[in-house]
Amino acid sequence: MPDHPSAPGSYLPPRPARRWFSTLPVPLRGLIQGSLLAVLLAVLLVAGGWIVTRPLGGQPWLPLTTGEDFYKIGAQRAGLQIGDLAPELSPSSGGDPLTDLDGRVVKVADFAGRPLWIVFWASWCIPCREELPDLKAAFSAHADDGLAVLAINFEESTDVVRAFATENGLDYIVGLDPRGAVLDRYSGWGLPTHYFVDRDGVIRGRYFGPLSRDLMERQLRVILAP
């Protein structure tokens, strides 16, 4: 006897149940599909924003919950590349050279044969302040290894920078970039920005954003090597 009463002598499988989505009116289906597409686009935009603004350098990173991990002060740029020679510390279009707090000109050539850590910062920059104790400790730990730190202040007056340096006991070279021209020369677009330069003047590491002590040590090991 056939298994299906509507088809004598043959077997027809049961008709599959219609999916719930296909039973909805066409306008409602279009609305749901449009909403799902909007959610997907929003997720992609958030992910893309993280990729653009994440600190560079290939190191693990977790953002601060305050969202103040990196002060963007210009359009996103690729930055100088690892393997590039560190540019001279003067504006690319001419102008005044970089000077320290005593008015002396500071040049990359001054650090020839020494590992050099360049950090761009400002006294009002919260993440710059937060990483300062670790930066000072790392410099003290490696000063006998020949490490030089050049902390280039972004667009603040000499008096403000001098007061901050004195108050915080900065015992490394502090440079003045009153118009942001040196940061521009180094393709920077936010604070803090770090470049790690080896004894031959070659950039071996870079980081856009605040560094933990562990990340500092990882970067320093590369340029401190003989």
Would you state the pLDDT for residue 23? 63
Percent of the chain with pLDDT over 70: 68
Exposed, middle or buried by CB within 10 Å (0-12, 13-18, 19+), for 16?
exposed
The tokens describing 200, both together, are 């031959």
* Pairing assessment for the beta strands 193-197 and 148-154 based on DSSP bridges: unpaired
The tokens describing 145, both together, are 């290894």
Mean pLDDT of 88-97: 76
Average per-residue pLDDT in the chain? 80
Per-residue model confidence as pLDDT tens digits over 126-157 = 999 999 999 999 999 999 999 999 999 999 99
Q: Examine the pLDDT at 32 and tell me if it is beyond 70.
A: no
Mean pLDDT of 38-46: 52
Mean pLDDT of 186-211: 96
Residue identified by tokens 């108050």 is 167
Would you state the pLDDT for residue 69? 85
